[in-house]
Amino acid sequence: MDYIKIRFGNDFDSLTSKIEKTIEGMFRPRPVSPMFASSEQRWTPQMDIYETEEEIIIRAEIAGVEKENLEVEINSKAVKISGKRKEIPSSESATYRLAEIQYGKFERFLYLPTPIDTEIVTSSYSNGFLQIRLAKLQIDKTHKIPIADG
């Protein structure tokens, strides 16, 4: 069985600077033709987040990304999904009429609507979709505390 790498942590490294890069990337013009693409191209996969009473589900559309090039990091408040899609070589004699498929690295930070239990996480990758299921932390749970003698 192959596994998707999931790392746990209390804080993500230099989160502020990465958010700034993400905002900066939103305003950077996208190349119209592959001949204008830089060697360090970045892209943003589309994602859905939805929740049920018990869990939060994240679905990422990342067709063409190999599982070995995927990484998921979580803490109780956020999820970071990153990876890289390798460019498919084309014929040198080909003339592009349309080039919309994006290649290169991607990184997404998703802030969760409620704290999650980092011990109860599952992930799967099928047909170009990564799905992550995160159990919600049961905050309103009442615990009985035993009272010791003496």
Q: Could you tell me the pLDDT band of residue 3, with boundaries at 50, 70 and 90?
A: low
Can you tell me the distance from the alpha carbon of 118 to that of 112, in angstroms, rounded to the nearest whole number?
12
Residue 110 is predicted with a pLDDT of 95
- SS3 per-residue string spanning 34-68: HHHCCCCCECCCCEEEEECCCEEEEEEECCCCCHH
Question: Given a cut of 50, is residue 31 above it in pLDDT?
Answer: no
Residue 26 is predicted with a pLDDT of 57
State how far the alpha carbon of 17 is from the alpha carbons of 30, 39, 108, 125, in Å.
Answer: 21, 21, 13, 29
Question: Given a cut of 60, is residue 30 above it in pLDDT?
Answer: no
Query: What residue ranges define each of the domains in the chain, with the CATH number in brackets?
Result: 5-28+43-87+103-136 (2.60.40.790)
Alpha-carbon Rg of the chain, whole angstroms?
20
Q: Could you tell me the pLDDT band of residue 29, with boundaries at 50, 70 and 90?
A: very low
Q: Could you tell me the pLDDT band of residue 35, with boundaries at 50, 70 and 90?
A: very low
Residue 7 is predicted with a pLDDT of 67
Give 148 or 6, the one with higher predicted confidence: 148
The pLDDT of 83-107, averaged and rounded, is 90
Residue 15 is predicted with a pLDDT of 55
Question: Given a cut of 70, is residue 13 above it in pLDDT?
Answer: no
